[in-house]
A and B are shown apart, each in its own frame.
Chain A
């Protein structure tokens, strides 16, 4: 199973709080869980608590004493709203699929919020059931309703065209001391009408762990000094100053990278990776983000793809689905933060003495 990634980047604009309904007057027959639930849905927990107190269902508090709030379970509807307000899109997706008419929730979201919800739905995958699949389609429809072109409603397509191609998948052979290898090429051609960039490149995280124990197996020693608890870190060759995947210290493309530049707008950004080793029972999980490196959009993530594979006892590769989303995961952003902390830290602990910071992602 592909290791779970944390969910999308919060920090986007919050949804305006829904207007609070005025407490409803106590009505006859307000004595069943269903009717209470209905009231709770329409007026909220506080209103229900107050009404129960007035109705004698809860002992009236003594003067000056704040009564304890009775434990009224929140509905998925409310929990979804709370999650949206908190920019917790994983949670929002989890609750939205349980709401009675989830599609009705979509028009209240902005385009950016719909993209983040779309990412959460995609990452949630089968765990969100059939409703999740339906909602992915509904999000596409809602994006169009908000003026997004039909060709740009798919995840990762808002700012250009991201393509991935696996060009090699070689199993290893222990007896022959032959390494396994998996080679992927990733390209991104931006839509120059929607990006405001002078240069676009890639940032990548790697999580290389023992499949059975989860222990870190990354042979890059300097990665350990910026690694998250999950074993994820910015994927850079030890000795490199730049955090951009494949980039030379001078800021150019090396054997594995060609950046997109405004001066040559029809040539896509390109990167290639060919992870390889001979160690069995390992899981290799990558997240690659297309990011504006120079220009007004600097730090803006245009698209993200997760990919990887696992290797069994016999060095046979099983690849993971490649999953394209609009924005990076929280873990990816934390990985960038760790890179920048490393760059600002003691020279002996850096990836290279002149290690350069990455931009704040947006």
Chain B
């Protein structure tokens, strides 16, 4: 197996295992020459699922030109799939009621896609499954406020629409804002 294939496999394996980017040796150490970058992009085009998150974000960091050549829809597909499927969402960020929140690497990649990311995110507004964070204070925040996948979708869609991204402490209060946005965007 070639080095480029090994690197891609290692990144995909960490993506499948849901290893946080900060703990992923494959992500931290990833380096792409032109051939590596082309192979990575081909792998993402072939299977743009959640498991390609680490590969996609490594490409974004190390080979930004190749990354930008990937269709935006496919990049959004990977990022929203990760938002939907990862057991813990530390690489996306956190939210709190005073309106403050923090968008990490995966969220930044999603937001920079602009309108391309809107369609898959609108679908996620229906996803009320828990969206926990791992760790100490992050995990505490996510359990205290009962983060859900739909809360993240609401935050990112609000930002893409250049609006405030309010976050109420009570899930029931957040539901009203999510429903309003869903109705607006689905016409």
Contact = CB atoms under 8 A, between A and B. Distances in A.
Q: Are both chains from one complex?
A: yes
Interface of A: 177, 179, 181, 183, 204, 206, 208, 216-221, 224, 235-240, 245-246, 248-250, 254-256, 272-279, 284, 286
Nearest to B20: A219
Given A274-B140, A274-B143, 7 more contacts: A220-B22, A248-B96, A248-B100, A255-B144, A273-B137, A273-B140, A278-B88
B32 interface: no
- Closest 6 interchain pairs by CB? A239-B102, A221-B22, A219-B20, A276-B139, A277-B134, A274-B140
B87 A255 contact: no
Nearest to B96: A254
B94 A237 contact: yes
Given A177-B87, A276-B132, A276-B134, A219 B23 contact: yes
Contacts of B137: 235-237, 245-246, 256, 273
Task: Determine the main DSSP class of A at the interface with B.
Answer: loop
* B interface residue count range (under 10 / 10 to 19 / 20 to 34 / 35 or more): 20 to 34
A219 B139 CA distance: 10
Contacts of A249: 100
A9 B141 CA distance: 32
A127 B124 CA distance: 55
B26 interface: no
Contacts of B139: 179, 181, 274-277
Interface string B107-146: 0000000000000000000000000101111111101110
Interface of B: 20-23, 87-88, 90, 93-94, 96, 98, 100, 102, 104, 132, 134-141, 143-145, 169
Contacts, number: 99
Contacts of A275: 135-136, 139-140
B149 to A, nearest CB: 15
B140 A219 contact: no
B132 to A, nearest CB: 6
Nearest to A239: B102
Nearest to B103: A239
Nearest to B101: A239
Given A255-B141, A278-B87, A238 B102 contact: yes
28 contacts: A181-B139, A208-B136, A216-B23, A218-B23, A219-B90, A220-B135, A220-B138, A221-B21, A224-B22, A237-B102, A237-B137, A237-B138, A238-B104, A238-B138, A246-B137, A248-B96, A248-B100, A254-B141, A255-B140, A255-B169, A272-B140, A273-B136, A275-B139, A275-B140, A276-B140, A277-B88, A277-B134, A284-B136
Contacts of B88: 179, 219, 277-278
Given A221-B20, A221-B21, A249-B100, A286 B145 contact: no
Contacts of B144: 255-256, 274
B64 to A, nearest CB: 17
A61 to B, nearest CB: 60
Which of B96, B98, B136 counts the most chain A CB atoms within 10 A? Answer: B136
Which of A221, A237, A254, A279 counts the most chain B CB atoms within 10 A? Answer: A237
A235 B140 CA distance: 12
Contacts of A239: 93-94, 102, 104
A276 B143 contact: yes
Nearest to B22: A221
Contacts of B96: 248, 254-255
Contacts of A248: 96, 98, 100
A286 B136 contact: yes
A256 B145 CA distance: 11
Contacts of A218: 22-23, 135
Which of A219, A273, A284 counts the most chain B CB atoms within 10 A? Answer: A219
B66 to A, nearest CB: 23
